[in-house]
Chains A and B, each alone.
Chain A
Amino acid sequence: MSAATNDSFSRVDERVSYKTPIVMAVFAALVGVAFGVFGKPEAVSFQWSNPEDFIHIPDFVVASNLVGMVVGVVLLVLAALAFVRARAARTTPMWVTLIFGLLTVVALLGWLAAGNSVPFAFILGNAVVLAVPIALGAMGGIMSERVGVVNIAIEGQLLTGAFLAAVVGSLTDNLYFGLIAAMVGAALLSMVLAAFAIVYLVDQIIVGVVLNVLILGITNFLYAQWLSSDGQNSNFPGTFEIMPIPGLSSIPILGPALFESRITTYLTYLIIPALWFILFKTKLGLRARAVGEHPLAADTVGINVARTRFWWVTLGGVVAGLGGAALTIGSVGAFGRGMSGGQGFIALAVVILGRWHPFSAAAAALLFGFSIILRVWANQVSPGIPTDFITMVPYVVTLIAVIGFVGRVRAPAADGQPYVKG
């Protein structure tokens, strides 16, 4: 994205923008002052690995406020770098933003765990598991929005997937049937969205919201009337087994966190790069993006706009349904009332925060998963910390991104526009 701006012919795009360095400098100052100057001098130990791991890295013990100060200074240096880039009318590279974010997180962890320890593998592992439904929902959203159909119904698709996975998995006693039912059910929901949006030209956002209301109503009713009284037979699926991947799971630090997980997590690892490859490296993806950016042009060169949109939206439902299954049989097992709990809307935010790109969206999903586990963990290590603010961070970050402080966010040009063949 930054490269495109640099090579652009338009002078308008080369306007110097200091938004990014200013935001970075403010964050750096916040970290340095709050976690460093006003930080606690107690020792904190960063546990990189478990003692029983194949390769054990010794814990790193350091004073909490020292971490805050050092990180604050490094962040200021990064902000200065961004400032220099901005003066030369160049955008801040992705890796600078990434390192900036990671270091901020390290400082936050160090501050929270003053006088205690930071179990790195535990936090990262849980963040990944919690991020899986959000990431898959976001992939479904990307598939839909890349062809120009806004998908607000991700929440409903996750809920459908979660419900069907648990119920079908229980009734058939086979979790794989549950997985398939989740994908099919969510895909059917997508077909309703696609039919209304593409064939009947009903406002896509309204259809999406309506489908959410509908699915919430139906699953709430079925849960109250049926599952809550007959839970042993119909809502007791169990979960997929945890399968460590031999070799990969003994990588230090990352191995136990990433490769000792369930099949739903591994499928996510496969789907994200696959989607990227199809979208950006194949003819199929090029056609899809053409339909989302300029349906008239796509139509002119012979692409069937309606059919392309229909199938991409439907397949997006398959992926989101898998995310729903990850909520139940890929994590806790039984279905609970309204258990998607707004994660579909978070996935929607992740699509935008990730700029409609599978990898960036996955990173954004990880941010949300991380914030969930961070809240839980922070309550344990230092009670009294206002965790409500930690809860808000990802939403505020999304807001900042959407209102254009962290680079420009641009949707597919025809996103949300119905196409009427003229």
Chain B
Amino acid sequence: MSAETQPTTWSTAAKEIVSGGAFRAFLSVILGFIVGALFMVFSNEAFLNALTYLTARPTDALGAGWTAISDGYLALFRGSIYNYQADNVVAATRPITETLRFAGPLIAAGLGVALGFRVGLFNIGASGQILFGALAATWVSTRISLPWGVHLVVAAIVAIAAAAAFGALVGFLKARTGAHEVIVTIMLNYVAAGLITFFFRQDYLLREADGGGTPKSDAPAETAQLPTLFGDSFTLHAGFLLALVGVVIYWWLMERSTIGYRFRMVGHNIDAARTAGVNVNRTFVYAMAASGAFVGIAAVNQALGARAGLTPDLDGTIGFDAITVALLGSSTGPGVLLAGLLFGAFKAGAPAMQVIGLSPEVTGVVQGFIVLFIAAPPLVRAIFRLPPPQKSTVIADWWAGLRKKGVAK
């Protein structure tokens, strides 16, 4: 559609906005918070007590319900963004740095899973790739001594390379034998977990010096630790910066590079890509290696951001959270960044919610419902009576027109 014939009706443009992915993601988040609020209300004792005499004094129930919701989400805010009840600046601003610290590995692993989605591969193996990368990083950070600076760089590169290799193995097996990557990655998660437990349990491998019976490694050598960003009163370390670099690289790789174009071709239509001369099997291997490399940044965060010894559950729930991050971020760099920050805030806010007597697991409920709404566009459209996705692209044309005139890049 050329600029001259373009019917610039605002209603069409508005329709496009509300039927677009970003708007739907936003609505899904809102819906998730609403469902989370319901869970808070209906598990609140004051509210349940007030329910028993609802007909006599309904305001009591309403008030108790509102208190439950506002207390809960205010605690989440205090724990994850700004603690307005704190005595000093450090304590007041620490929450936001905690959010960033938790968001780092989520963003990085989310990028890895997102890359897989764009190629049509479902990488459930982030947890295994983190463990394998962390295993390699821990070897370098505790068993090899190198000068300051070099040590950290070497350990980080080794971690990313190991995670990438673990990912590439999945791609190779899929390309070579047609094995489904979902099954292979699930199995490799368990293999990596067994492997790292074994390494952390053996004296001659990675077990901490004079450790007890539980599998645990030494703390990474000081030369190999990621430096803190704002001094010792904050735990935020340079791992978050690595994740940000990852976002930029991801954006460039997927939107600007040739290999990224091939990735997207295979993801869009595998037969067309093959016909166009793309070596699909090789693309699978490269894509899984790249996916694993991004997940490797999360491994760097976990293994070198630690100040104490590591245990075999160092991956926590990052592997699965990464899937929800990628889904919510619709597999784009900026989207994954925002989604990672949101879910990082959920993790950072947990202690503050615990303090007011609300189980922080409620954020898991919110997270679950967000991705449920994300995964089911028809559901959200039905709830909000949104129009179906628009085929014409008024906004894209308008943007292209601006580009032609040199206004936008």
Interface of A toward B, CB cutoff 8 Å? 152, 196, 200, 202-203, 205-207, 209-218, 220-226, 342, 345, 348-349, 352, 386, 388-389, 391-392, 395-396, 398-399, 402-404
Main secondary structure of the interface of A (DSSP, over half): helix
Which residues in A have their C-beta under 8 angstroms from that of B182?
152, 205
Main secondary structure of the interface of B (DSSP, over half): helix
Q: Is the CB of B43 within 8 A of A225?
A: yes
Which residues in B have their C-beta under 8 angstroms from that of A342?
190
Which residues in B have their C-beta under 8 angstroms from that of A386?
198, 201-202
Q: Is the CB of B187 within 8 A of A399?
A: yes
B45 to chain A, nearest CB (A): 10
Q: Is the CB of B365 within 8 A of A218?
A: yes
Q: Is the CB of B367 within 8 A of A348?
A: no
B156 contacts A by Cβ under 8 Å: no
- Which of B187, B195, B362, B376 has a CB less than 8 Å from the CB of A402? B187
Measured as residues with beta carbon below 8 angstroms from the partner, the interface class of chain B is 35 or more
Measured CA separation A212–B183 after assembly (Å) = 16
Measured CA separation A349–B368 after assembly (Å) = 24
B188 contacts A by Cβ under 8 Å: yes
| Known contacts A225-B359, A392-B194; is-contact A349 B186 (Cβ 8 Å) | yes
B379 to chain A, nearest CB (A): 8
* Residues from 349 to 386 in B contacting A, C-beta threshold 8 Å: 358-362, 364-369, 371-372, 374-379
- Which of B43, B202, B320, B378 has a CB less than 8 Å from the CB of A200? B378
Which residues in B have their C-beta under 8 angstroms from that of A200?
376, 378-379
Measured CA separation A391–B184 after assembly (Å) = 17
Which residues in A have their C-beta under 8 angstroms from that of B345?
none
| Known contacts A196-B375, A196-B376, A206-B327; is-contact A392 B180 (Cβ 8 Å) | no
Which residues in A have their C-beta under 8 angstroms from that of B377?
202
B356 to chain A, nearest CB (A): 12
- Which of B194, B195, B367 has a CB less than 8 Å from the CB of A217? B367
B304 contacts A by Cβ under 8 Å: no
Q: Is the CB of A202 within 8 A of B376?
A: yes
Comparing B53-61, B171-179, B395-403, the segment that makes contact with chain A is B171-179
Which residues in A have their C-beta under 8 angstroms from that of B249?
none
Can you list 27 A-B contacts with CB-CB less than 8 angstroms, sorted by A residue number? A196-B375, A205-B122, A207-B375, A210-B324, A214-B368, A215-B368, A218-B39, A218-B364, A221-B364, A222-B43, A224-B360, A349-B186, A349-B187, A386-B202, A388-B194, A388-B195, A388-B197, A389-B194, A392-B190, A392-B191, A392-B194, A395-B188, A395-B194, A396-B191, A398-B183, A399-B184, A404-B179
| Known contacts A200-B378, A399-B188; is-contact A209 B124 (Cβ 8 Å) | yes
Q: Is the CB of A388 within 8 A of B43?
A: no
B323 contacts A by Cβ under 8 Å: yes
Write the chain A residue with the least CB distance to B371.
Answer: A210
A336 to chain B, nearest CB (A): 14
Q: Is the CB of A217 within 8 A of B361?
A: yes
Which residues in A have their C-beta under 8 angstroms from that of B368?
210, 213-218
Which residues in B have their C-beta under 8 angstroms from that of A209?
124, 320, 323
B361 to chain A, nearest CB (A): 4
Measured CA separation A330–B111 after assembly (Å) = 41
Q: Is the CB of A402 within 8 A of B186?
A: no
